[in-house]
């Protein structure tokens, strides 16, 4: 990866302010903290939930499990991608995983998020990006003229002023969305999505995404460096 950004904070307030910078005029959705994956804690998350984002530590154990899943699902994922049209992009900018997760969440719910400002990142991604390959989308995002600035403003709102762009981070964002009755994980580090449980509606999607995140967390249960954010309907 050549270009490098500041890491985006896993903070709903920061992400909600980021929505207008990405091009949503009056957002109909919002990001919310998720304080746990058990049913009693998920009950506090506003409904309906459209996407879930997980911040997790990148460890050898987690990376190995992902590689095994990608290999195991190779044929199934290939068929799924051929049959379903959705937005998945590779990540070519270092430390851009937060913005990539946000874009994956919004673009796969683009008809729910609110009206888009013409000439904005989301407007142009909807206009031309849906027909691109994942690698082409990554290049489009990397070269988009105003996205660097919008990402920088969001990062500076949420992180200390002295944070260095060269600081190494071993934390990573991934995104879960519902595509054609399947919980799908979109992580631009991987060449293709990961498939999780079947889900028939928004509520069963939330359950499926929660289970997928539990499985990830259980690979490194002693770590406390997890954070979960939901994209859901914006309250009045």
> Domain 12-233 classified CATH 3.40.50.300?
no
pLDDT for 145: 87
Per-residue pLDDT of 127-149, as tens digits, reads 999 999 999 999 999 999 899 99
pLDDT for 162: 47
Peptide linkage before 48 cis (omega within 30 of 0)? yes
Q: pTM of whole model > 0.85?
A: yes
pLDDT for 157: 84
Element (H, E) at 137: helix 134-143
**Are the C-beta atoms of 23 and 122 separated by less than 8 Å?**
yes
Helix (H, G, I), strand (E, B) or coil at 79: helix
Whose CA is closest to 185, among 55, 52, 92, 72? 52
Burial of 30 by CB count in 10 Å (0-12 exposed, 13-18 middle, 19+ buried)?
middle
Composition of the chain by helix, strand, coil, percent to 5: 40, 20, 40
Residue numbers in the chain where pLDDT is lower than 50? 162
Q: What are the residue boundaries of the structural domains of the chain, listed by start?
A: 12-233
pLDDT for 1: 57
Q: Name the residues annotated as catalytic.
A: 97, 172
pLDDT for 163: 60
């Amino acid at each position: 990866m050549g270009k490098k950004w500041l890491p985006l904070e896993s903070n709903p307030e920061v992400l909600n302010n980021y929505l207008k910078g990405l091009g949503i005029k009056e957002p109909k959705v919002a990001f919310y903290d998720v304080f746990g994956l058990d049913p009693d804690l998920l009950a506090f998350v506003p409904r309906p939930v459209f996407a879930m984002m997980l911040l997790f530590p990148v460890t050898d154990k987690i990376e190995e499990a992902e590689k095994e899943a990608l290999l195991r699902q190779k044929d199934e994922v290939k068929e799924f991608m051929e049959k379903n049209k959705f937005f998945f992009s590779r990540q070519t900018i270092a430390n851009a995983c937060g913005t990539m997760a946000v874009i994956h969440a919004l673009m796969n719910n683009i008809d729910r998020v609110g009206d888009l400002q013409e000439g904005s990142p989301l407007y142009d991604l909807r206009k031309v990006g849906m027909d691109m390959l994942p690698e082409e989308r990554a290049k489009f995002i990397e070269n988009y003229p105003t996205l660097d600035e919008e990402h920088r403003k969001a990062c500076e709102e949420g992180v200390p002023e002295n944070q260095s762009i060269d600081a190494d981070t071993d934390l990573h964002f991934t995104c879960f969305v519902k595509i054609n009755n399947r919980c799908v994980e979109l992580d631009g580090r991987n060449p293709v999505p990961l498939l999780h449980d079947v889900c028939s509606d928004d509520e069963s999607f939330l359950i499926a995404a929660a289970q997928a995140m539990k499985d990830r967390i259980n690979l490194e249960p002693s770590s406390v460096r997890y954070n979960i954010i939901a994209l859901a309907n914006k309250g009045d």
